[in-house]
Structure 1
Amino acid sequence: MLKKLMSIYKDSILYSELPKHTSDQFYIFFDEPQKNWLAIPKASLTEKEINLLQVLYEQVKIPLKPLSTLSRIWHDYLLFNGSMPSLSAESNFRFIQFHVKGLGVDPTEIEPAIKGFFSDEVQIIWEDDHNGIVIEERRQLSLTESELSSMADTLESDFYVKISFYFGRVYPFSSHLRNQFLQEKEYFEFAKENLERTNILTFEKIFPAFVAFNLPDFMKEKIKQELSSVFSEDPELYTTIKVFLENNLNASLTAKKLYIHRNTLQYRIDKFIDKTGVQLKDFYGAFTVFLACLLFEQRK
């Protein structure tokens, strides 16, 4: 079937095996039954045609530049279920995924800048010119979450782009490693689509919203009836309560982040408690209200 498309897209290229790298000016689609890959110039496709091709075929993302032997092995293993790297079973790894948002993003410029923040050699593989993965070994874990946040700020100011990171957990090298990476990738993709922008994301920051998003509709409706209607009536109250909960019920820090006086903050908290009857300083109350905040945010 892909061969027939070549008559429509004159400058397209058909491959009998997965190409090692290609230009960023092409989209690549894979025909599973025929085991063929077709590279079609981006300029030849409309948005409607791209969406149709993505339904019919698997879109494949190829690194934009040649990779080292080890990086190639990691790339094929993580993204295409290739062979596992030949490494010590005692090794431990962490994956730091990143997404770069901006015009004219050049991976060849950003990659050395990212590597410069790490004290030891790391592997960096790119899914496309906006998404990549930093692979750290246990002995190399050189950045904390706060340092990664500073790194994001520096990259944004140097390259005039917006960048977000998913700070993965440490995993032992095993046959489960790829599935663990794919689970983190699912969380990161969810966050990019559904959460308000933040430059550092972790499992703990994403999972509550992930759970809320996947609740059955009847459960969402119950929470809406009990609590979320208050936020619909007063969106400012929603913002205040959510920031208060996100900052561990620290009134001073919350007031500072909202640029309001502590008395104003306390007034809004008291107002919420009066309307709902739910106490925020109780763990169960705080948990329930935070869930309501997440659901209200998704509806927005």
Structure 2
Amino acid sequence: MLKNLLNKFPDAVFHKGDCSNPELYIWFQDDDGTSLGIPKTDLTQEEIKLLQVLFSGEAPNERNTAFSNKQWSDYLYQDHMELPLTSWDQVRFTQFTISGGGFPHEEFEEAFLSFVPEDTLLIWNNDFTGVLIEGNTHDNPGLHEFIPVISTLQGDFYVKMNIFSGNFHAVNNQLHYHFTMESDCFAKSRLHLPDLKVSTLPEVFPFLFLTGQSTGDKEWYAEQLLGETLEDQELIQTVKIYVEHNSNASSASKALYIHRNSLQYRIDKFTEKTGLDIRSFRHALTAYLIILLHK
């Protein structure tokens, strides 16, 4: 019976391996054990409720046995679940995929968690994808620290890994939306930058820009990439002019009628507040595109 739904939902898939981002689908099972994933954007709330009456939801991943892991797994990967109770004020999602042969999951999980703060959770979505959830502490690994971690895990377990390191987000009713948006970013990263072991929003954003974004999504990207600098129009204009002058400080400072030292101060301020080093091509491109998109 599930197969008949393909007539109404042609973008539905039968296996998670058939889509780049299974978290963006709602999965159903019939009595024969057949699964079908339908893109969330293709379903109305009424259709979701009806299908949930007719079919069971996909069984949650059995690897998330601890109570807190099960709660977070339900919240992130199942629909209409409540935000878990937690002492964390802010969390960061580091999503990962693993490819290669079989590997001992328990040993892998133990090894991965040894590189991050002690209270970090590892939540499996399936046998080859999952997410680290970290509270915001002084011990969180920086982006550059993840690269040797991935290299070590790949060497020890004979697998290939890709991760997407998100931003820290307040634990509130917007948290699931942040997770969904970053899941989409990770999918684009794997599609366009498959050889990049560790990706973040600044690297992926130019590819997201090409596909067009809704107004709400534009605001999310602007907030994540530019943060509080959105309120400083002088700083935003400085960055825009600097990039338009091919990152040439002399040319940009003349166009802005300011001293080169003042320009350098503004650039350093922007980098400190956003993490975007606009002296590099990728970050300069991302900064310029999001400024244009937000105008």
Q: TM-score, normalised by structure 1?
A: 0.53
Equivalent runs, 1:86-235 vs 2, <5 Å: 86-88=85-87, 91-139=89-137, 141-214=139-212
Which residue identity lines up with residue 161 of structure 1 in the other structure? V
* Helix, strand or coil at the partner of 1:181: helix
CA RMSD of aligned residues (A): 3.5
User: How big is the shift at 1:203?
Assistant: 0.6
User: How big is the shift at 1:111?
Assistant: 0.7
Q: 1:193 to 1:113 in 2, by over 3 A?
A: same
Name 1:84's counterpart in structure 2. 83
Contact 1:97 1:165 survives alignment (8 Å) = yes
Name 1:20's counterpart in structure 2. none
Which residue identity lines up with residue 64 of structure 1 in the other structure? E
Equivalent runs, 1:44-63 vs 2, <5 Å: 53-54=36-37, 60=58, 62-63=60-61
Equivalent runs, 1:25-64 vs 2, <5 Å: 30=28, 39=33, 53-54=36-37, 60=58, 62-64=60-62
Q: 1:212 to 1:38 in 2, by over 3 A?
A: same
User: How big is the shift at 1:59?
Assistant: 8.1
Equivalent runs, 1:238-249 vs 2, <5 Å: none
Which residue identity lines up with residue 166 of structure 1 in the other structure? F
Contact 2:206 2:285 survives alignment (8 Å) = no
Q: 1:203 to 1:86 in 2, by over 3 A?
A: same
Percent identity for Structure 1 against Structure 2: 27
User: How big is the shift at 1:54?
Assistant: 4.5
Which residue identity lines up with residue 121 of structure 2 in the other structure? Q
User: How big is the shift at 1:192?
Assistant: 1.3
Q: Deviations over 1:252-285 (max 9, x none)?
A: xxxxxxxxxxxxxxxxxxxxxxxxxxxxx9x9xx
Q: 1:210 to 1:153 in 2, by over 3 A?
A: same
User: How big is the shift at 1:69?
Assistant: 0.8
Which residue identity lines up with residue 94 of structure 1 in the other structure? R
Contact 1:93 1:170 survives alignment (8 Å) = yes
Q: Deviations over 1:8-54 (max 9, x none)?
A: xxxxxxxxxxxxxxxxxxxx9515xxxx67535xxxxxxxxx8xx54
* Helix, strand or coil at the partner of 2:137: helix
Question: Using the alignment, how far apart are the partners of 1:58 and 1:199 within structure 2?
Answer: 36
Question: Using the alignment, how far apart are the partners of 2:123 and 2:101 within structure 1?
Answer: 20
Name 1:23's counterpart in structure 2. none
Q: TM-score, normalised by structure 2?
A: 0.54
Question: Using the alignment, how far apart are the partners of 2:210 and 2:85 within structure 1?
Answer: 39
Superposition misfits of 4+ residues, deviation over 4 angstroms: 53-59
User: How big is the shift at 1:174?
Assistant: 0.6
Number of aligned residue pairs: give it. Answer: 185
